[in-house]
Amino acid sequence: MDNLFDISGKVALVTGGSRGIGAMIAEGFVKNGVKTYITSRKSEQCNHKAKELSKFGECISIPADLTNMTDMDKLVNHIKENEKNLNILINNAGAAWGAPFDTFPENGWDKVMDTNVKAVFFLIQKLIAILENSGNNEDPSRIINIGSIDGIGIPRAETYSYPASKAAIHQLTRVLANRLANRNINVNAIAPGPFQSNMMAHSLKEFGTQIKNSVPRGRIGEPEDMAGTSIFLSSRASAYITGSVIPVDGGSLIARRHME
């Protein structure tokens, strides 16, 4: 019981780990003794964040564009060549696109789906062997997919491909949880509500007070909220949980349902 939430000594990969929710999770891991690889498309930003987090533990930058299969293969090969184990995979890298329904562009649809769904599936597929070898019945490997409450409720913004992609991630989580359970891999998803991130930056700047007032807890999410849930889902405390989608939203989803 004393070690239920201990994740020290594990190895993790966090995609989109240089900022926003990914950086929150990476910081929580590093500060709790996890050797953490982070990747993002912008190499300078990724390297800077890894250097910053290395003050607290071990954090390694591997910049990559995960919509590019050559980049993805380089990332996967780097992990396999340098690690015997990969205990935790956080699929956080994501994209959004906003436009009116009548003029929503094909490239806005494809970019979001390629980043938020296609890349997630194929990264899992390419890392499956090392994930399987790193887990056991008592302490399985963990895949945590970052979805969104917009994949559960109806968003107010016109971001059609984004909620569709996050609903797909939630269902993919359940499908893979069923498929991979006998390979000692747990697959769960976190569905964040409003957090400080690049995707939310404009909305929070323009409508910050309204957004906070719409959340029953009266605030937006903080780094500890996201790190805490990720640590729980990566620890012995959650070894019997797979196929779940956990909203981390301060109650905003139930409030939204009530309003609807």
Active site residues: 162
Q: Are strands 11-15 and 88-91 parallel, antiparallel or unpaired?
A: parallel
Query: How far is 249 from 219, CA to CA, in rounded Å?
Result: 10
Amino acid at 198: N
Strand partners, 61: 38
Given a contact cutoff of 8 angstroms between Cβ atoms, the answer to whether 224 and 27 are in contact is no
- Residue 255, H or E segment: helix 252-259
Please give the structure tokens belonging to residue 43.
């190499």
Give, in order, the Cα–Cα distances in Å from 159 to each of 122, 124, 201: 24, 26, 15
Given a contact cutoff of 8 angstroms between Cβ atoms, the answer to whether 245 and 189 are in contact is yes
Query: How far is 89 from 12, CA to CA, in rounded Å?
Result: 6
Look at the chain and count its residues: 260
Query: How far is 247 from 254, CA to CA, in rounded Å?
Result: 10
CA 110 and chain centroid, separation:
20
Of 3, 4, 31, 20, the residue nearest 12 (C-alpha):
31
Given a contact cutoff of 8 angstroms between Cβ atoms, the answer to whether 95 and 119 are in contact is no
Given a contact cutoff of 8 angstroms between Cβ atoms, the answer to whether 237 and 58 are in contact is no
